[in-house]
A and B are shown apart, each in its own frame.
Chain A
């Protein structure tokens, strides 16, 4: 965990510098007798900077008492990126084709990725779940789900 903490604290320090830069660009106009727009961001940036430096110093010189490990295997990292991109494309596809048309395919693919191999189970559950969610949200709760070009 020591190495992970050092990496995390460096990332947070870099983020704080970026946040500080953005804060310096905030407008200075303000109401009389109160704090400005930038007061809270400056206070938070200072706090975060101090805390991340503390984390860096304590881990670099004293080590840590934490017993867990920050292990992300290459395979898991790749899967996380893949899943994120996959969900992104699904959301884009909903806007094009509509919720009803695209969701069964997305669900079926996710079930397959999750380890389901019986095609009957995949087909029935993906269609039934899509319809169930559609009826629950659209008909019962009047949430208008996105309609695409097809549906």
Chain B
């Protein structure tokens, strides 16, 4: 085993593999930070190149893209409040708030450091505990997936800070929007008004770009408001102090744990992980009041989760040959092109290659850290572009980005409709994060609920007889009622104290 580990390391450290990792990281940063371009698209574009490369070089290239694509999504989220990937939407909350206070460099520094931490944590779990995690993750059937989606949805309450009712309304509207399209069980159209494009449902990428970018464009161009912070002075504080990072260790650990766990569950998805980690980090933090107003911990939690998801998602792919999301499905395909079939046999027949994957992922994370840190000042320069130039370019990028998703302007229309909805929601004080959460999680909720009932022949007890599902349902109940009950309890306690 020791010889295989060393041989795999030496293999990965060859010049062409390091170069492949570097190219993958650069490509991923661009893909991730451009609204509308997805990591899966980047992988698909690189896939034909890998036909001619060796298996280890291919995996270095693709893992480089995977690791940095996640970080790239956060760059645009922090600087422009336009998340490049759905998983970066939680980072935008505190990241952009910090950028608006002139702390963009520091926000990016925290994002990159915690991404690295999450990536390494995910890798450690992949190396040390993959068989155990994979076994637990495989026990997730429809009832368990329903309960974890339900848990994700209970976070809606936490994001309705000014008014819980408005947060809930926003979430329910999001769920209603996701009922548009074909019925997941029967395949009959619902609320499609005869439009073929609506039969596939509302894609969440145009919705996300619309909700985040268009209100800013409208405020900036139509309302003549300053929507981007001006960056005239030198960018400083990019490299976070060790002491500050140490203070965020608990937050990063929590985010990484949630990220790896959720990532390992096939079909659960990164957005659940980032919102769960953001919410739980806020709940355990002493600075919970600062969340949403530019708190570095609010970046560290979702960012560490975001990159830990990648490590987590590799666990079922490598150990069982089950891809949890489109990205790992493409990775699986890339391995199969080279005659490597992921699954239990891969660990026996191609042990050295498995170690090469581990090393390649470590190199990808290190490369991501180095490349992103050394280019942060370049990224922040985006904010030096005057708003009168930047906003029109963002308009074009959003239009082309949404068009690129399915080569149709229908998605561009969807983006603009969501943009107008987001604009009016912002003006009327409705939070958009619950809407986004519901859009991301909504389709899975209904599908897993109905699938579970088919399995149980209509018996609702299925959710209470499966221990994992029951655990998540109990946590969901606490998670939902917590934000409603705790303030009332604190008020009562405060009143009792003042009476005494």
Contacts and interface: CB of A to CB of B under 8 A. Distances in A.
Interface string A60-97: 00001110101110001001101110011011001100
A98 interface: no
B107 to A, nearest CB: 24
B392 A141 contact: no
Contact of B454 (A34, A83, A87, A99): A34
A51 interface: yes
A33 B41 CA distance: 39
A19 B177 CA distance: 11
Given A26-B190, A32-B458, A114-B220, 12 more contacts: A22-B191, A26-B188, A31-B186, A33-B456, A51-B169, A80-B423, A106-B396, A111-B392, A114-B392, A116-B388, A137-B400, A143-B400
Nearest to B220: A114
Contact of B183 (A37, A83, A84): A37
Contacts of A7: 428
A90 B169 CA distance: 34
Interface in A7-42: 7-8, 12, 19, 22, 26-27, 29-35, 37, 40-41
A1 B188 CA distance: 41
A87 B222 contact: no
Given A44-B176, A133-B397, A145 B403 contact: yes
Contacts, number: 171
Contacts of A19: 176
Contacts of A99: 400
Given A125-B389, A137-B404, A141-B404, A48 B172 contact: yes
A121 to B, nearest CB: 8
Contact of B393 (A82, A94, A129, A143): A129
16 contacts: A31-B186, A33-B454, A33-B456, A48-B169, A65-B162, A76-B222, A80-B218, A110-B221, A111-B389, A115-B224, A116-B389, A121-B389, A126-B392, A137-B400, A143-B400, A143-B407
A146 B412 CA distance: 13
A66 B299 CA distance: 26
B176 A12 contact: no
Interface string A93-128: 011000100010011001101111000010001100
A59 to B, nearest CB: 9
A91 B83 CA distance: 23
A12 B176 CA distance: 12
Closest 9 CB pairs of A and B: A79-B222, A110-B392, A33-B458, A114-B388, A143-B404, A34-B453, A116-B388, A37-B183, A115-B388
Given A48-B173, A58-B165, A79-B222, A35 B416 contact: no
Contact of B453 (A35, A79, A107): A35
Interface of B: 31, 34, 37, 41, 45, 162-163, 165-166, 168-169, 172-173, 175-176, 179, 183, 185-186, 188, 190-191, 217-218, 220-224, 386-389, 391-393, 395-397, 399-400, 403-404, 407, 409, 412-413, 416, 420, 423, 427-430, 446, 449-451, 453-454, 456-458
Contact of B450 (A35, A45, A52): A35
B396 A133 contact: yes
Contacts of A142: 45
Contacts of A41: 176, 179, 190-191
Contact of B427 (A58, A70, A106, A111): A70
Given A37-B190, A83-B221, A114-B387, A44 B175 contact: yes
B221 A44 contact: no
Nearest to B446: A40
A132 B90 CA distance: 30
A32 B456 CA distance: 11
A52 B169 contact: yes
A119 to B, nearest CB: 13
Contact of A114 (B391, B400, B427): B391
A145 B400 contact: yes
